[in-house]
Amino acid sequence: MQATVLTIGDELLIGQVRDTNAAWLGEQLTLAGAVVRRMATVGDDEKALQSELRRSLAESDLVVATGGLGPTRDDKTRRAAADLFAAELVLREDILDEIRARFARRGRAMPESNRSQAMVPEGFEALPNRAGTAPGLWREIRGGEAAGSLLALLPGVPHEMQRLFTEEVLPRVRRRGGLQVIAHRTLRTAGIGESGLQEAAGDVSGMLSETRRLAWLPGLGGVRLRITAFGERRDEAEERVAELEARLRERIGHYIYGTNDETLEEVVGQMLRERALTVAVAESCTGGYVAHTLTNVPGSSDWMAGGVVAYANRAKVDALGVSQEALRRHGAVSENVAAQMADGVRRRLGADLGLSTTGVAGPSGGTPEKPVGTVWIGYADAAGASARRLQLVQDRLLNKRLAAAALLDHVRKKLLDPRP
């Protein structure tokens, strides 16, 4: 079943409201087994809305539209749908009574403008809205170019839309049939960019087809690989996912740290817990962001000993034991100082592992030898301390996040293979 998601409202076009409805519907339709071919946003204009509905119904088996069913003058969806099908708007007294009763339960009289929400185009089924005043509208197209298509018009208020879709629309779609089984699996990677990862993975095009796809989704600090497979049965689709996943793990398994919604900090935390290790963090350029990220993980008190933000050189000396000589000879942004910071925080907080960051976050402060984006990340354990240089970007906040991601991936790899 091919589906189109249509969101309606000027507020979406001008960026005043973020369009979360489209993302939610895309996910839910995909999980149900529909193939979402297109998403579109249109403003509060009847002609534009009619044109978009006409096109979407001609191209899709199912169109789900949200927005424009409210009581104000800019809510044009109801009228646009009626005109598209040359249908009259009919006042439904039962719906009007329910709207009045809803206001009465809140101790208020119904504004006359809400009367419009009880108007239903002929040929449409009204879907009861238990979370709001505007009912949804449902129609199965019987004739014309769009014959056989399904149309759902839902309120734009997210919690109303979600409840109506789940309770009213989805059961009707399932009764219609035509849904296939879709299986997804996302492999999460770190420590390598998109082009490098593709080169490492090699040519996998021979494993891709209409029933199995691979999407490369670059993001901050890593790339997500989303495998999607289709089948008549659940086991068939999942087997197709597993085959491609196995091939990718053979080639780039070193970069894969988790699957689906797992985060890097969760994976590192679980590795520390399994090994009964604790960690302490000394931060300069990241200003506490690494500690913040780690302590976002529930249960991090099991393995997180603490952290020190040693921004000034005096703090590096007094709080971490970094030598004045190292700062004088190498500077705060250096391999030697990063290693001393990691070892110092490990010793002073009594942790098994010590981590550190020091760098030029920007946008100023760079030199030819240490340009903006130069960051050293340190790692220390009982066997010794070491540091690695990163060359990041010109954006201060982005450098904090990139440095934290690189440091956590460095810890992950050290825990997998502790050899120098």
Residue ranges and CATH numbers for the domains of the chain are: 2-176 (3.40.980.10), 181-259 (3.30.70.2860), 264-416 (3.90.950.20)
* pLDDT of 145: 75
User: Residue 315: what pLDDT?
Assistant: 97
Both tokens of 355, joined, read: 């981590």
Question: Which pLDDT belongs to residue 107?
Answer: 92
User: What one-character-per-residue DSSP string does 375-392 give?
Assistant: EEEEEEETTEEEEEEEE-
- For 19-49, write each residue's pLDDT tens digit: 999 999 999 999 899 989 999 999 999 999 9
pLDDT confidence bin for 73, thresholds 50/70/90: confident
- Output the pLDDT for position 420: 63
pLDDT digits (tens, 9 = 90+) for 125-162: 999 999 988 999 999 998 777 788 999 999 999 999 99
Residue 219's beta-bridge partner residues? 222
Residue type at 15 in one-letter notation: G
Range 79-87 average pLDDT: 94
For 176, 277, 302, 315, the CA distances from 274, given in Å and listed in that order, are: 49, 8, 11, 33
Most confident of 104-118, 209-223, 394-408: 394-408
Average pLDDT on 238-264 reads 96
Residue 170: name the closest of 182, 147, 154 by CA.
Answer: 154
Cα Rg of the chain, angstroms: 28
Note the pLDDT of residue 369.
Answer: 94
- pLDDT of residue 82 exceeding 90, the answer is yes
Range name among 68-77, 196-205, 255-264, 348-357 with the lowest pLDDT average? 68-77
pTM: 0.79
Q: CA dist 309 to 131, 292, 358, 391, Å?
A: 48, 11, 10, 21
Q: Do the beta carbons of residue 40 and residue 4 sit within 8 Å? A: yes
Check residue 47 and give its pLDDT: 94
Q: Determine the 3-state secondary structure of 85 from DSSP.
A: coil
Across the range 314-333, mean pLDDT stands at 97
Q: Is 178 left (phi over 0), alpha (psi -120 to 50) or beta?
A: left
Token output for 103: 């206001």
Using pLDDT thresholds of 50, 70 and 90, give the confidence band for residue 99.
Answer: very high
Q: Taking all residues of the chain, what is their mean pLDDT, rounded to a whole number?
A: 95
Q: Average pLDDT, stretch 257-281?
A: 97
Question: What is the percent of the chain with per-residue pLDDT over 70, rounded to a whole number?
Answer: 100
Phi, psi of 43 (to 5 degrees): -80, -175
Q: What is the pLDDT of residue 220?
A: 86
Give the CA-trace dihedral at 327, 333, 336, 337, to 10 degrees: 60
Check whether 192 has a pLDDT greater than 80: yes
